[in-house]
Amino acid sequence: MSPELVSQLSVGGSTLVLLAGLAMLWRRGVRAHIGAFTAQSVALAATTAMVGWFTGDWQLWAVAALLLLIKGVGIPILLERMARRFGTERELEPYVNTATSLLVGGLLVLLAYLVTARLVSVSQLPTRTGMPLAMGLVFVSLFVIISRKKALTQVLGFLMLENAVALLAVLGTHGIPIIVEIGVFLDVALGFIVMQVFVYQIHETFESIDVEQLNRLRE
Amino acid sequence: MSPWLLGPVQAALALLLAPGLVGAIRWMKARLQNRSGAPPWQPYLELRKLFAKEVVVSNNASWLFRAAPFIVFGSTVAVTLLVPLLAVPLPFDGAGDLLVVVYLLLLGTFFLALAGLDPGSPFGGMGASREMTVAALAEPTMALAIFALAWSAGSTNLGHIAARVLATPTEALAPGHVLAFAAIFVVTLAETGRLPVDNPATHLELTMIHEAMVLEYSGRYLALIEWAAALKLLVFFTLLGNLFAPWGIAAALTPGALLWAVLTLALKLLALGGVVALVETHIAKLRLFRVPELLSASFILALLAVTASFLLR
pLDDT of residue A62: 86
User: Is there a contact between B156 and B98 (Cβ–Cβ < 8 Å)?
Assistant: yes
pLDDT of res. B234: 92
Q: Do the Cβ atoms of B174 and A8 come within 8 Å? A: yes
CB-based contact B297 A102, cutoff 8 Å: yes
Question: Three-state SS for A174?
Answer: coil
- Is A11 in contact with B311 (Cβ distance < 8 A)? yes
B92 vs A12: which has the higher pLDDT: A12
Contact predicate A181/A162, CB 8 Å: no
Give the residue-averaged pLDDT of B45-62.
87
Given this model, what pLDDT does residue B111 score? 92
Percent of chain B with pLDDT over 90: 13
Q: Reduce the DSSP state of residue B87 to 3 states and report it.
A: strand
Query: How many domains does the structure of chain B reveal?
Result: 1
d(CA B223, CA B217): 9
Q: What is the pLDDT of residue A122?
A: 83
Q: How many domains does chain A have?
A: 1
**Best residue in A123, A127, A129 to probe B by mutation, most B CBs within 10 Å?**
A129
Judged by average pLDDT, the poorest of B33-47, B160-174, B265-279, B285-299 is B160-174
Tally the C-alpha atoms within 13 A of residue B163's C-alpha that lie toward its C-beta. Answer: 14
φ, ψ for residue B87, nearest 5 deg: -145, 155
User: Rounded to an integer, what is the distance from CA B177 to the centroid of its chain?
Assistant: 19
pTM of this structure: 0.85
| Nearest-Cα residue of chain A relative to residue B296 | A99
- Average pLDDT of chain B, as a whole number: 84
* pLDDT computed for residue A210 by the predictor: 76
Spatial contact of B50 and B228, defined as CB atoms under 8 Å apart: no
Model pLDDT, residue B44: 92
**A85-100 as b/e: b if 16+ CB within 10 A:** ebeebebeebeeebbe
Is-contact B95 B139, C-beta < 8 A?
no
Answer whether residue B199 shows pLDDT above 90: no
Question: Out of A134-138, B63-67, B245-249, B294-298, which region has the weakest mean confidence (pLDDT)?
Answer: B245-249
Beta carbons of B304 and A19 less than 8 Å apart: yes
**Bridge partner list, B250:** B87
pLDDT at B173 > cutoff 80: no
Contact A99 B296 (CB under 8 A): yes
CA distance B273 to chain A (A): 26
Residue B177 has pLDDT above 60, yes or no: yes
Using DSSP's 3-state secondary structure scheme, residue A210 falls into strand
| Interchain pair A8, B178: CB under 8 A | no
Our measurement of the distance from residue A31's CA atom to the centroid of its chain's CA atoms, rounded to an integer in Å, reads: 16
Residue numbers of the domain that contains B68: 3-311
With H, G, I as helix, E, B as strand and everything else as coil, classify residue B248. coil
Higher pLDDT, B198 or A78: A78
Average pLDDT rounded to a whole number, residues B130-153? 86
- Quickly count helices (H) and strands (E) in chain B: 11, 0
Considering only CB atoms, A12 lies closest to which of B175, B297, B301, namely B175
According to the model, what pLDDT value does residue A91 have?
A: 64
A107 CB near a chain B CB, below 8 Å? Answer: no
Interface list for A 124-143 with B (CB within 8 A): 129-130, 132-133
User: Torsions phi, psi of A150, nearest 5?
Assistant: -80, 135
Q: Check residue A71 and report its DSSP letter.
A: I
Q: From the list B178, B179, B296, which residue is nearest A102 (CB)?
A: B296
- A11 part of contact set with chain B, CB < 8 Å: yes
Record: contact B303-A102, CB cut-off 8 A: no
Q: What is d(CA A10, CA B67) in angstroms, rounded to the nearest whole number? A: 52
3-state helix, strand, coil in chain A (%, to 5): 85, 0, 15
> With helix as H, strand as E and coil as C, how does A121-173 read?
HHCCCHHHHHHHHHHHHHHHHHHHHHHCCEHHHHHHHHHHHHHHHHHHHHHHH
Range of B60-64, B145-149, B274-278 with top mean pLDDT? B274-278
Segments forming the whole domain that contains residue A109: 3-88+95-215
Q: Kindly provide the b/e burial profile for residues A16-46, where b requires at least 16 CB atoms within 10 angstroms of the residue's own CB.
A: bbbbbbbbbbbbeebeebbbbbbbbbbbbbb
What is the per-residue pLDDT across B209-245, written as a single tens digit (0 to 9) for each?
888 888 888 888 999 999 999 999 999 998 888 888 8
Evaluate whether B81 touches B92 at the Cβ level (below 8 Å).
yes
**Of A184, A131, A145, A183, whose CA–CA distance to A162 is shortest?**
A184
Least confident of A176-185, B62-71, B84-93: B84-93
Q: Which residues, given as ranges, of chain A have pLDDT below 50?
A: none
Chain A and chain B share a number of CB contacts under 8 A equal to: 55
Average pLDDT over residues B112-130: 86
Residues in chain A: 219
Nearest CA-CA distance, residue A148 and chain B, Å? 16
Report pLDDT for B309. Answer: 81
In chain B, which among 170-199 make CB contacts under 8 A with chain A? 170, 174-175, 178-179
Complete DSSP assignment for B159-218: HHHHHHHHH-GGGGGSHHHHHHHHHHHHHHHHHTT-TTT--TT-SS-TT-SHHHHTTT--
Give the mean pLDDT of B284-295: 82
